[in-house]
């Protein structure tokens, strides 16, 4: 059994080497990934290129949805943020399978924790646990949708997820009209209280509650 595991690891590394050599752009993108994401790529060399394309698609699609103002433009814990992660996972599950997609999503969140520990920013902010919990929840909803509707078109997936956002089937972080984060009692969380903390009192709510 040990020989089989070692063999699989060696094959994965060989395929990974081929993956990097096939495209300078992919090689550059790989260098920007977190350590957990790089590990995912190493063990999923055939799926990594598809995942890369889907990730780009998710960003472009999210920008397009933002321009319609259908679900606002809050990419930091709002409805649009919920859509982005669920769409990314739905399309990934369609392309590389639900298990691999969720593995990539978890690797991304592990990378966010390392980013937090290094005090680096993601999308202009410092990651924290409530945001990570939100992402993981929405990842699961999206991946399940992608598995269920394996051959559905991109536009169909978009419509399903927009409905899911408006029906409150996804999660977002509670905020007031001014964009301040709130706890579950509706009290404003000060910047000082949130600064540099992984676990804090940000509150997850269904996406239909504004």
Q: What's the pLDDT tens digit per position in 157-203?
A: 999 999 999 999 999 999 999 999 999 999 999 988 888 789 999 99
Each domain of the chain, given as residue ranges in start order, spans 33-206
DSSP string, 132-177: HHHHHHHHHHHHHHHHHTTT--HHHHHHHHHHHHHTT-SEEE-B-T
Per-residue confidence (pLDDT) for residue 70, from 0 to 100:
94
pLDDT category, 210, cuts 50, 70, 90?
low
Query: Phi/psi of residue 171, each to 5°?
Result: -115, 150
- 3 has pLDDT over 80: no
């Amino acid at each position: 059994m040990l020989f089989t595991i070692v063999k699989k690891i060696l094959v994965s590394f060989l395929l990974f080497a081929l993956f990097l050599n096939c495209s300078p752009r992919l090689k550059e993108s790989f260098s920007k990934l977190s350590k957990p994401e790089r590990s995912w790529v190493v063990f999923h060399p055939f799926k990594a290129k598809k995942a890369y394309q889907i990730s780009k698609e998710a960003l472009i699609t999210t920008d397009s949805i933002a321009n319609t103002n259908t679900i606002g433009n809050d990419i930091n814990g709002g409805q649009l943020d919920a859509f982005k992660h669920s769409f990314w996972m739905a399309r990934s599950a369609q392309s590389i399978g639900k298990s691999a997609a969720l593995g990539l999503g978890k690797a991304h969140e592990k990378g966010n924790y390392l980013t937090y520990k290094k005090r680096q920013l993601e999308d202009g902010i410092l990651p924290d646990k409530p945001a990570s919990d939100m992402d993981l929840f929405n990842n699961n909803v999206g991946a399940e949708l992608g598995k269920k509707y394996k051959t559905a078109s991109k536009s169909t997936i978009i419509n399903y997820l927009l409905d899911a956002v408006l029906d409150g089937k996804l999660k977002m972080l509670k905020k007031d009209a001014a964009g301040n984060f709130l706890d579950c009692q509706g009290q404003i969380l000060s910047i000082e209280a949130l600064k540099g903390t992984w676990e804090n009192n940000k509150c997850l709510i269904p996406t239909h509650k504004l």
